[in-house]
Every structure is written in structure tokens, then in C-alpha cells.
Structure 1
């Protein structure tokens, strides 16, 4: 391992975790893993299909297994976590222990604009903005408990968020 810890991005759906994670990994030459995409590949179906056919508990079981596997990698990576990864205490613990965790915090207006109708978002119903408020209320404390750092992303673009992360995250430890 080259001394750099894994970087894990957490936050609500629509906060920019996947986009920022991709750019951060590209900037640093690191592997990027979008946990929801990894789950879809592992299960051979979309997140929506998993929720509909197997239920949220099954999805969370797979999420927990793949999260632990990603963070066990000896090579540093950038990991974009699904919004609900913090719901399980085991996930919060492994994230804090094995990664530098950054909460991309966005206001409801930003989230609503980004997720729009909530299509392909299994936890959003006919009132996406109202659902986002409730989900955020339930998770904000868990994000705060898990994160090493918080970045408010409402007034920032992708490259600004990625640059901010580069500035504040722990630096590589050079080999002696």
C-alpha cells in the first residue's frame, strides 16, 4: 500500500458522490468504485429491481458485504457509497476504521433539483422533495457520526468539490 487511505464519499442521493468520486479518482490515478454499481454488477440487476424483487434487507446485506470487500483492498481507492450505507452500525464502523470519510452535504433544494422526479430511486415516491426531507432527517446524524470531514456542496461544482477533498484529506505517508 502506498500510504494513502481509501477515500469514501457519503451523503444523500443527489449530493454528487459518484461524479465527484470519479473525478477525484481520475485526478489522483486511483481506482474508483461506485458501490451501487458494484452491487448491480454483483447481483446482475438494477438497484430498483433488487429492492422490488428481494427487498431492502437483501440489498443492505449485499451492500455490507461489498463495502467490507472494497475497504479490505490493499490498494487505495475512491469509493462512492450509496446514501443508505450509514444505516448499519457495521458499515459506519468499517468506513471509519478503513477509510477517510467525507460527507458531501447538500441542501434539500439542491438534492431535489438533482434527483428531479426520483426515477430509478427506489426510496422516492410521488413526493420526492418530501421524501428527501424525511430521509435526510433520519440519516443526517449517521452521516455526521461517520464522517471525518464535511463539505457543503450547494455552491460548488464537481471540480471544486474534488479539489477541496484533495486539499483536506490526509496525505500519503512516504516510504522510509
Structure 2
């Protein structure tokens, strides 16, 4: 049985489906949904890419960390920005509410989904390629993940089922 007092934190690359899967998961599990990228945009009154243009990618990460540290979201599905894993303090804060689920999508699928990498508001070094960014972030996703879902060629319904099953296993292990 799922513990409905806890949240699920979705982590992964841009294009992994955190927002899409998150909304569906929240509906299935009767939880509230929050997207930390939207929280950042609402707080700053501008799009992520505008923050990068006006400052730089490090400023976006700094703002993201502040938003994560201010998070108080029990009984939520939380879709994080792809760069949330750069903040150890922010991830520790989020994981107080529940397990982190890494949506592990192969690079080719991610690139097929993202047609606006340069203007999407991705917090990366200037000139950094998508492949380089994935290589940099993947170990961080793996480090913070309590649950890893291999999303290769899977429809959302299958991913949802695997998350729910893995979450139940995680809580069963905690009770043992």
C-alpha cells in the first residue's frame, strides 16, 4: 500500500518527461503537483531563458537552489528542473518529503524530444553540448535517485506503473 503522506520527486534531463509524467502520477496517486521550474519563473516574473540571458546559468542555479530550500511540499509529486541535482542542499531538502525518482531516458530519445535546447532555459555552460551536459549530470541523477526508471521506448502508462511499483517496494523495504 502506498504511503500517501509522502511525496515523489522526479529528477532527470530536460525532455525526460518529468512534468508530463508528474501530472499523470499526481492524478493517479491523488497528490498535488508542483513543477519547480514554474516556481522559479513565478518568483522571478520571467522565463528561465530570460534569467540566463540577463545573468548567466549559474544565477539560474542559485535561484533554483533558493526555491528548493524553501520547498514545503508533503503529499506532492514534484517535477524538478534538470539542474536541481547541482544543489546538494536542495536535493536533501526535497528528499525529506519522499524518494527521488530518476527518469532515465536514452540520449537519442531526449534529443528527439528537445528541439529548443538553446532557448529552453537549460542551466548549462555556454557552448556545452547536450551530450556533454548529459555526461555531466547523469552521475548526479544516479547519486540522488532512490528509484531509477529505465524509460527507453516506454509509453507513459508503463512508466507510471513502474514508478508506482517501485515506490511500493521502496516503502516495503523501509518497513522491513
If the length of structure 2 is used for normalisation, what is the TM-score?
Answer: 0.84
Query: What is the aligned partner in structure 2 of residue 53 from structure 1?
Result: 54
2:137 aligns with one of 136, 139, 161? 139
Give the 3 Å change call, closer, same or farther, for CA 124–100 of structure 1 in structure 2: closer
* 1:30-83: CA deviation from partner (whole Å, max 9, x where unpaired): 11011101111111110000111132232222211222332x33x310000011
Query: 3-state SS of the aligned residue for 1:4?
Result: coil
Residue 106 of structure 2 is aligned to residue 107 of structure 1: yes
Return closer, same or farther for 1:120/1:162 CA change in 2, 3 Å cut-off.
Answer: farther
Question: What is the match of residue 87 of structure 1?
Answer: 86
Deviation at 1:154, TM superposition (A): 1.6
Contact kept in structure 2, 1:118 and 1:124, CA below 8 Å: no
The Cα RMSD (Å) is 2.3
The answer on whether the counterparts of 1:6 and 1:79 sit within 8 Å (CA) in structure 2 is yes
The corresponding residue for 1:41 is 42
Q: CA deviation at 1:158?
A: 1.5
Q: C-alpha separation between the residues in 1 aligned to 2:47 and 2:116?
A: 18
Kept in 1, the 8 Å contact 2:58–2:123? The answer is: no
Find 1:149's aligned residue among 147, 150, 156: 147
The structural deviation recorded for 1:118 is 2.2
Secondary structure of the residue that 2:82 maps to in structure 1?
A: coil
How many pairs align? 166
Query: Please, which moves more after superposition, 136-145 or 58-67?
Result: 58-67
Aligned mates of 2:131, 2:123 — CA distance in 1: 11
What's the CA shift for 1:161? 1.1
CA contact 2:52–2:123 (8 Å) conserved in 1 = no
- Give distance in 1, aligned partners of 2:32 and 2:70: 14
The alignment partner of 1:169 has SS state of helix
SS at match of 1:151: strand
Question: What residue ranges of structure 1 are gaps of 5+ in the alignment?
Answer: none
Deviation at 1:90, TM superposition (A): 1.4
Find the aligned partners of 2:34 and 2:130 in 1 and give their Cα distance. Answer: 24
Contact 2:68 2:91 in 1 (8 A): no
How far apart are 1:160 and its partner, in Å? 1.6
